[in-house]
Structure 1
Amino acid sequence: MADNLDYAINSIVYRSDSLDVQEILDPSFRQYFDNDQAQVQIIDRNGMVIFDSLGVLYTEEIVYPDITEARSGNRGVWRGNVDYTDKKVMAMSTPINNSTNQNIGILRMVISMDRLDTLIIRAIAMFIMIGIATVLVALFISLYFAKGIVDPLKEVNDVAMKIADGQLSVRSDVKTNDEIEQVSKSINHMADELIKRDQVKNDFISSVSHELRTPLTSIKGWAITIQSAGEMSKELSDEGLNIIVSETDRLSDMVEELLDFSRFASGKATLQKEEIDAASFLGEVVRQMRARINREGHVFSVDISEDMEGMTVDKDRIRQVLINLFDNAIKFTEEPGVISLYARRNKMNQIVVNIRDTGIGIPDDDIKRVKEKFYKGSLGKAHTGLGLSISDEIVSLHGGELIIDSNMGKGTTVTVILPAVPKEE
């Protein structure tokens, strides 16, 4: 409607400097309002209607707010009722200026609000349909993507619940190339690790049962022999009692090892630290182990620096670590072999203790796992598979490090690194 007003105004200004009804009735002018289904009025400067497209006759000046606004040089809009129809209308008036920009009248277009309401309703209906279609499309897309997320998550959750229920052979087969697939792979890896740990646990229980049964069998056998024997030589009796004592000590060591494992696993292990002289302490351990190493037919080489000064440790726990390392060295070194201890203080204020042997060494496949709990290695000489694991825990609690280096057929070196007391300047 506003565009037609502009076109009509331009045509009138272009055609004449005065309002000529004949020109207004010209078909080339009527094109601006015929197709708009609007009532078009031309009003002169006196407010008289000189043309009405509907043929409505006016005998006096017409006054409406839109006409008043147009007379002041602005475009006016008015909504209301007129005398010749009971329908509500909207009128738009604009001033008509000639080629010298003088006002010569007013062009007014009137349109029924019914038609406008119909257009508004259609527009609203169209927007509603577009909105509904948008919502439906968005819902469809959301459901599609939700299904692509929810279904894999449900499958992963089901697998996780089955694994938690003890069905360790169940696996997730989600292939989504995203984070959900990574979670699926992690759950599968967790199940594999649980199977391995379960197998290690079963092997451990079987091994401990066997290790406990062997000394118990010897103890019981000799106890029955001594009990049932009438006359027994002192030599045979002493031999039986020595075996009973030896196997009892072995049982005690295994039980103590299991108790240590339980303490460390539950986080209840505590350290009773005190400052001690490193060289003196290592000398005590050497004296404690020398007789046994020599008895096993090995050469014991010792090199301890005297200027290591102090270290703050739980000496009983560190003694336990060193004795365990010497036990392993003896166990895995065929006689005659060489077992050595080398101790120094390095420039980083650390006490470094090396225990070396010329034994059979540790296979490459075992070296990475020898400090794992219950791992007994492929050589099968470990009792419970806890010794090195506990030793590593003890050293770590001291803020130190336990390092194992080995070559098959040449021997093994175990390095224990512990913090030293800083030297006084």
Structure 2
Amino acid sequence: MRRKGIVLKLGLLIMVLFLSILIPFAFLIDRIFLNVYSIYLNDNVKSLAQSLEVEWIEKNQSPEEIYHHLNLFFEHEVIFLNQNGHITHGNIMEFNEGNHLPDEWIAQLQNGETVEGERYNSDTEENFYYFIEPIFNDEAFEGGVIIFSSIDELHNKMHNVRDWMFRAIAATVLIAIGYTFFIVWYLSRPLVKMEKATREIAKGNLTTRVEVNSQDELGSLGSAINDLSVELNNYRKTRSEFLANISHELRTPTSYLIGYANLIKQGKYETPEELGRYASVIEGEASRLAKLIQELFALSKMEEGEYTLQIQEVDMEDFIQSLHAKMKLKAAEKGLAANVQLNGNDHAFFTDGMKLEQILLNLLENAINYTEQGWVNLQVEMKEEHIEFIVEDTGAGIPKSDQSLIFDRFYRVDKSRSRATGGTGLGLAIASELAKQISGAIQMESEENKGTRFIVTLPYSIENQDM
């Protein structure tokens, strides 16, 4: 067990809490036993003193007769004293026949008060409880009775009780320690396993999984660690693919740029038309490179949360016509039909028009790139509480195994078509992030070899905010 392990810490914490309850409880029980026995002894002695008062006054027996009668069977020590405070019968410790009681005690007795306390007999090494009862006859002070009762028996019984109590506490603590550390060990096992799993994940072993055996918070934590491992594994794979793709995408246009620039520099062209073709290649590759850099920069800013919303009212008809003009031109290059449709009432619509346009252009460009024949449609549904922009195509569709990953950064369904389509795997990730920025969401429905449908849902108005 590690010195600073969770089992030891939780075990010690539970034991401290347990002892903080047990020790005061044991002390309270000890006080209760002591008080009960003390009250019993006090009441017994008082009752005896009162009975002796009855013998003396009401039955008119002399103290001498009562004293000799008590010596035959009485277990307590009894002393009688007269009205002057002198001891007439009985001897114990410093209280001997003929001695005078302290004036303070005599004053208390004459006032009808009782006197009580404890005394230690050094000769017999006994502790005594004493009680002095004043005796009155027709309101005249006649003397008093002192009863000494040994309390060693009380002490012995209390010591026995305390011994048994300490034994019980020790046994309880030992049992509690065993149960506590067993329970803590049992409950902390999943945490220890999760710690080992997370350390394996931190080392790069992203296939590590935590066994989830419960539906409580620990089970939820285990599932979260498994999900994290899956996400990190996917991220590592897509990052590796992205770096490979980016290296290729950067190397290819760079090679073209260097190659054709050298041809022009060395004058290796025969006609102005050939020079123009070289310049066109350089322009195209430079545009491709600029687009890649722009998308990387945009994604980096979004990851850091650096963006500003420019909220303004959007004229839906003008907005749709502008999009239609842009999508028609690109669709016509592939012989595809490009249609737009606006349905619903004309509501005031406030959003960041530039970001919305970028979202829809990304989706439309993606649809055109992956559609070889048929059409690409943009449909706008202005519903009661929100707006839906629906981008639909008759392209290749997306396999079910890829549908949960298409919005991940750097992910592409058909990696072999990256150069043909000019894609970098960032378009859908950027569209998804932009939709979140303007309080929207993107959903996708697709069937392989039949087409894909993207639905962008937006509120009619969002609050202006700078991030």
TM over 0.5: yes
The letter of the residue matching 1:267 is G
**Given the superposition, is the C-alpha separation of residues 190 and 28 from structure 1 closer, same or farther in structure 2, using an over 3 Å criterion?**
farther
Residue number in structure 1 paired with 2:23: none
Deviation digits for residues 247-288 of structure 1, max 9, x if unmatched?
A: 332222212111111221222233444434221122122112
1:376 aligns with 2:418: no
Matched residue type, 2:75: Y
- The reply on whether 1:343 has 2:386 as its aligned counterpart is no
CA distance in 2, matches of 1:215, 1:18: 134
- Does residue 321 in structure 1 map to residue 364 in structure 2? no
Deviations 1:369-423 (CA, angstroms, capped at 9, x unpaired):
322222223666563321112112223322333332222232112223344479x
Give the equivalent residue in structure 1 for 2:465. none
Q: Name the SS of the counterpart of 1:202 in structure 2.
A: helix
SS in 1 for 2:380: strand
Contact 1:305–1:344 (8 Å) recurs in 2:
yes
Q: How does 1:206-217 map to 2 (within 5 A)?
A: 206-217=244-255
Matching of residue 108 in structure 1 with residue 146 in structure 2:
yes
Give 1:105 shift: 4.9
Question: For the residues of structure 2 that align with 1:182 and 1:304, how far apart are their CA atoms?
Answer: 45
Determine if contact 1:23/1:29 at 8 Å carries over to the other structure. no
Measured at CA, do residues 225 and 269 of structure 1 come closer, stay the same or move farther in structure 2, by a change above 3 Å?
A: same
- Computed over aligned residues only, the root mean square deviation of the Cα atoms, in angstroms, reads 5.2
Pick aligned residue for 1:265 from 303, 314, 317: 303
Q: Report the counterpart of residue 368 of structure 2 in structure 1.
A: 330
Pairs within 5 Å for 1:149-228:
190=228, 193-220=231-258
Unaligned runs of 5+ in 1: 34-38
Q: In terms of Rg, which structure is larger?
A: 1
Per-residue CA deviation, residues 154-193 of structure 1 (Å, 9 max, x unaligned), is 9988987887687878889999999788767756654554
- Give the aligned residue type for 1:49: I
Change (3 A) 1:184 1:398: closer
Distance 1:181 1:351 in 2: 39
> 2: CA distance between counterparts of 1:13 and 1:164?
90
Summarize the Cα distance change of 1:347–1:322 in structure 2 as closer, same or farther, 3 Å threshold. Answer: same
Q: Percent identity?
A: 24
Q: Residues 380 and 44 from structure 1, CA distance in 2 versus in 1: closer, same or farther, beyond 3 angstroms?
A: farther
2:71 & 2:211 partners in 1: Cα distance? Answer: 77
Equivalence for 2:67: 24
CA deviations over 1:183-210 (Å, ceiling 9, x no partner)? 6775665455434323332222112112
Q: Secondary structure at the match of 2:444?
A: strand
Indicate conservation of the 8 Å contact 2:46/2:131, yes or no. no
CA contact (8 A) 2:91 2:97 kept: no
The partner residue of 1:249 within 287, 301, 311 is 287
Q: What is the CA–CA distance in structure 1 between the aligned matches of 2:199 and 2:297, rounded to whole Å?
A: 33
1:24-423 residue pairs with structure 2 within 5 A? 24-26=67-69, 30-33=73-76, 39-44=77-82, 47=85, 49-54=87-92, 58-59=97-98, 62=101, 64-77=103-116, 91-95=130-134, 105-109=143-147, 190=228, 193-220=231-258, 232=270, 240-304=278-342, 308=346, 311-335=349-373, 337-348=374-385, 350-377=386-413, 381=417, 383-420=423-460
SS in 1 for 2:413: coil
Q: How many residues matched? A: 410
SS at the partner of 1:26? Answer: helix
Q: Higher mean Cα deviation, 137-146 or 386-395?
A: 137-146
Change (3 A) 1:62 1:282: closer
Higher helix share: 2
| 8 Å contact kept, 2:351–2:461 | no
Contact 1:7 1:32 in 2 (8 A): no
Superposed CA offset, 1:75-97 (max 9, x none): 21368999xxxx99985301358
* Counterpart secondary structure, 1:92: strand
Is the CA contact 1:264–1:393 (under 8 Å) kept in the aligned structure 2? yes
Task: Classify 1:187/1:128 alpha carbon distance in 2 versus 1 (closer, same or farther; 3 Å).
Answer: farther
